[in-house]
Chain A
Amino acid sequence: MKKSLEDSAEKGYERLESRGVSRRDFLKLCSLSCVAFGLDLSVAPKMADAAAAKLMKKPVIWMQGQGCTGCSSSLLSSINPGPEKLLLELLSVRFHPTIMAAAGEQAVQSWEECVAEGNYLLVLEGSIPTRDPRFCTVEGQPFGELFKKAAANADLVIAAGSCACYGGIPRAGITGAVGAQDALKDTKVLNLPSCPVKPDRLISTILYYLGHNELPRLDNDGRPVAYYRYVLHDSCHRRLHYERGEFLSDWNDPKTSDWCLYNKGCKGKETFTNCSSYWWNDGVSYCGAVGSPCSGCSQPKFYEEFSPLFANPEEVK
C-alpha cells in the first residue's frame, strides 16, 4: 500500500516536473497550505507526496452561474503561486468559460467529456436561479440542471465566493438565487465564501484535499475552520479602540483614522473570516486597512440582511 503511494507520487512528481513544477516548488506550496490549516510543517512532504500522486488525475470544471466573473478574476490575482502555474502546470482546466480556448459546441463537448470521465473537481462561481430556469441558460439548457449533472460525477464540489455558497447578492433579487448546497441538497459542498473568493483559500484547500483525500474540518456553514474560525473583530487592529469606545466618525480626522469602524456600519463583530490577519492580493491590503468597514461578505446572510452597509447600527435600530 505504502509502496504504491510512493510509486504514484513519483509518477506525479515526474508529471509535475514535465509541466515545469519542480519538486521543491511543489513542496513549498504544500508548506503554505500546512500553515493555513495550522498543520505541523513536517506534514508537508507527506502531503506533497499524496497531492502529487493525485494532482494530475484531477481535472477541473469551473462553471459560472449568476455571477460577475469576479471570482475567476480573483483566482488570476494570485501571485504566489501565479496564475500561469495554476492554469498550465498544477491543474488541468477542462472547462472554464473565461479562460478556455474553445467556444460553443467544442466547449460544451469538453464539458461533456470531462463529466463522463468523472474524477474531477467542480468549482461553482455565481448563484443558481430557482424561480425560473430561464434566468440562466447555457446552450439553451437551464444552468442549474447542467450544474447538478456535473456535481453528480464530481469528486468534490467547491463553491467559490458568496454567490455560489449561499446566493450572495443575487439572493436578494427576484430570481430565487441559491448557492450550491441548496441546489444540490444531498451533496457535500465545500464553501469558500467572500466577495470575491479569496484565491489563497481556494488554492490551499484544493491542495489539502488532494493531499489528504478528505476535506479539511468545516464549520456548520460548510467553511474550512482554518479560515473562518474567528470573527474579523477578534484580530482587527482597531479592536483596542473599540474596547475604549473610540469610534471613527470623520475619515478626514488624522487623530481617529485607526479607530473602530463600527459606527460606519462595520460587520466585523459577526463575520467569520481571517481577512484582518491574512490580507488580500498576496498580502498588500484588506478592507479594514484602507479604512473601509467590513460588509460581512463571507456570512450566509450577506447581503440583504446586512443592509444598510454603511449606516451607524445604533441609529438604524
Chain B
Amino acid sequence: MSKRIVIDPVTRIEGHLRVEVIVENGVVVDAWTKGTMFRGLEQIIQGKDPRDAIYITERICGVCMASHGWTSAMAVETAHGAVIPSAARVIRNLMVGALWLHDHPLHFYHLSALDYLDVLAVKDYQGNDQNLLGVKAKIMKLVEGGDTAPLTPRYVPDDFSVKDPDTVITALSHYLQALHVQAKAKQMSAILGGKQPHQSSIIVGGVTVYPTDENINQFRQLLAEVVHFIKTVYIPDVIYFATGPLLPLAKAGIGKGPGNYLSYGAFDLDDSGKDKLYKSGFVSNGQIEAFNDAHITEAVTSAWYRNANPAHPWDGATDVNLDKSSAYTFIKAPRYKSLATEVGPLARMIVAGYEPYVKLTKEYGIKPGAVARHLARAQETMLVADQMFKWIKELEELLEEGKSSSLGRTKIHDTDSWEPPQSGKGAGLNEAPRGALGHWVEIQDKKVKNYQMVVPTTWNASPRDDKGVRGPLEQALIGLPVDENNPANVVRVIRSFDPCLACAVHVVSPKGEKLIQI
C-alpha cells in the first residue's frame, strides 16, 4: 500500500514550498521538494549599475536580507577593487549579527515549536506561577471565545508531541516573550541600518552610517536584553527539548540529510578576512577538508530551465522553460564535488567541530538530523551573541582612534572605489543564518553583465540532479516514519532546515539575453 501525500503550502517557513512524499507501510519511500514561485531577480540586476545589486539582492529575502546585502557588497567590492575600512567591517558584523540574534530564536519558537507542542495542554496547568497563569488565561479565553486562530487548526498531537502541561505552558510563555525579543533585535539592526527589514546602510565600499554615542548606547542596551533572553531562555529551552522530550527523535537521527556538510565561513574577525567567527570547510564521511569554491556546480535537470550541463556559477546558463517535462521546481541543484550537500547551522557546527555542540551530542548520543539542527542553531547563536559585545568594544576603539586622524573621524567608506569600473569580476562567499551563501558578479561597461547567486535553500531544498541524486531535504525525508493521515513528522523535518524559498529561486543568463521561453 503506498500513498502520496502532498503538503502545499508548507507553512511557517519563508516562501512557497510544496513537498510530496510517497508513504509505504508508514515510512516515506520517496520525496520531492518543489519551489513554486519565481521572480527573476538576477535578471532584473543585469544591465544595471552594479551598486544597485546590494539593494535588489537584499530583497531576495525579507528574513535574512542583510546577509544578502552584505554578500552582494563583498562580490561587487571585489569587482570594484574596493577595500572596506575596519570600522565598516565591524559595523556590518554588528548589523548582521543582530539579524542572527532575531532570526534563530524566531525560527525555534515561532516557526518550529508548534510542531512539538500540544498547545491546548495548557488547560491542565495546575501550578501557581502568576506569569504562566496569565498565559493560561490568555489561551483559555481564546478557546472559550471559539477562536484559536492562528494556533489551530493543526496536525493532531502525536507520540512526539510534548503534552506535559508545565513544559507546554512554559514554552508557550517563551513563544510570546520571543515575539517581543525578536522585535527588539530588529531595532538593533535598524539603529545601524535605518530600518529592519531591509537595511539601507551597507553600500559598495563600506557603510553610510557613522554611529553616534547615542546609537551605540542604545544598541548595547538592546543587545544586553536580547542576549539575556538567548542565554537564559532560548538556548536552555532548545537543550531541554533536545535532551529531554525529543531525545528519542534526536538519538534516532530522524531527518538526517546526505551527511555532506559545507560552510563558507563568515564574520571576519580582522581586516585580512582570514580569521572568521564561523569557520569554512567541507565534511564528507566524517573527513574535513578545506573549502574551494571551484568545486561548486549547479545542475538544472529537474528545474524549469533550459537543459545545460552542470556548471560553476561563473558559467551557469539558465533560461526559463515552464514546459520542461522532467522538471518539477524553480530550484536548481547545486552540488559540491558532485555531492548533494547540506548547509546551515548543523553544517557549521560539524565543520567547526564546535566544542559545546560536540560535547552535548556525544553525551546524549544525538545524531545528525532534525533535532540536531535545532540544537546546532541554538549553540551557534551563543557564538555570535558573545562576539557582539567584543565588536561593540572594537568599534568604540576604532571611533576613538579616528578622532586623532587627519580627517578627525575614522573612515567608514572607500570613496575612491565608489564609481563602477569599466569591467571586473567578484565573488562574495559568506554564511547567512540558513547556510552557505554565494554571490557572483561580472561587470562590463560599468554595468552588471552577469549576476549569480547560490543560496542556502538552493542547496538544502534542491531537486534531483543530473545523476538523479535527490537533494538534502528530499534525502532527509526518506525513511521517515509518518502517519498517513497526520503527516506531522514531514513538516518537522522540513522546518528543521529553516527553508527560505524566495532565496532559493532565481535565474540568470550570463549572456544577458531575454530569458523567457513559455
Q: A interface vs B, CB < 8 Å?
A: 15, 18-20, 56, 59, 64-74, 76-79, 82-84, 87-89, 92-94, 96-110, 129, 131-132, 134-140, 143, 169-170, 172-175, 177, 195-196, 249-254, 257, 280-282, 284-292, 295, 303-304, 307-311
Contact = CB atoms under 8 A, between A and B. Distances in A.
B132 to A, nearest CB: 14
B9 A97 contact: yes
A139 B37 CA distance: 12
A139 B52 contact: no
Interface stretch (B196-204, B232-240, B257-265, B307-315): B196-204
A101 B40 CA distance: 30
B210 A257 contact: yes
Given A70-B59, A291-B208, 10 more contacts: A88-B138, A94-B149, A135-B39, A139-B8, A139-B9, A143-B37, A174-B516, A257-B210, A286-B194, A310-B51
B60 interface: yes
* Interface class of chain B by DSSP: loop
A169 B56 contact: yes
Interface in B5-64: 6-16, 18, 36-41, 43-44, 48-49, 51-52, 55-56, 59-63
A257 B502 CA distance: 36
Interface stretch (B175-183, B267-275, B427-435): B175-183
| Count class of interface residues, chain B | 35 or more
A173 B44 contact: yes
Contacts of B151: 101
Contacts of B52: 307-310
Contacts of A103: 7, 9-12, 155, 491
Contacts of A289: 194
Contact of B51 (A83, A196, A309): A309
B65 interface: yes
Contacts of B6: 104, 139
B80 to A, nearest CB: 12
Q: 5 shortest A-B CB distances, which residue pairs? A: A70-B62, A291-B208, A308-B49, A280-B195, A173-B40
Interface stretch (B160-168, B333-341, B374-382, B406-414): B406-414
Contacts of B14: 68-69, 98
B36 A18 contact: no
**Residue among B51, B114, B218 with max Cβ neighbours from chain A (10 Å):** B51
A171 B65 CA distance: 19
Given A88-B142, A170-B40, A173-B40, A93 B149 contact: yes
Given A131-B516, A173-B41, A68 B144 contact: no
A99 B187 CA distance: 21
B514 A174 contact: yes
Given A104-B9, A252-B411, A292-B208, A69 B62 contact: yes
Interface in B139-173: 141-142, 144-145, 147, 149-155
A69 B8 contact: no
A252 B415 contact: yes
18 contacts: A20-B138, A70-B198, A92-B149, A104-B487, A106-B155, A139-B18, A169-B56, A174-B516, A252-B407, A280-B196, A281-B183, A281-B187, A282-B187, A290-B208, A291-B201, A292-B200, A304-B44, A309-B55
A203 to B, nearest CB: 13
Contacts of B41: 169-170, 173
B11 A83 contact: no
Contacts of B209: 290-292
B323 to A, nearest CB: 9
Interface string B110-128: 1100100001000000000
A249 B413 CA distance: 11
B39 A173 contact: yes
A290 B201 contact: yes
Nearest to B413: A251
A16 B141 CA distance: 10
Contacts of B204: 310
B316 interface: no
A74 B197 contact: yes
B320 interface: yes
Given A173-B40, A174-B43, A104 B149 contact: no
A172 B12 contact: no
B226 interface: no
B187 to A, nearest CB: 5
B255 interface: no
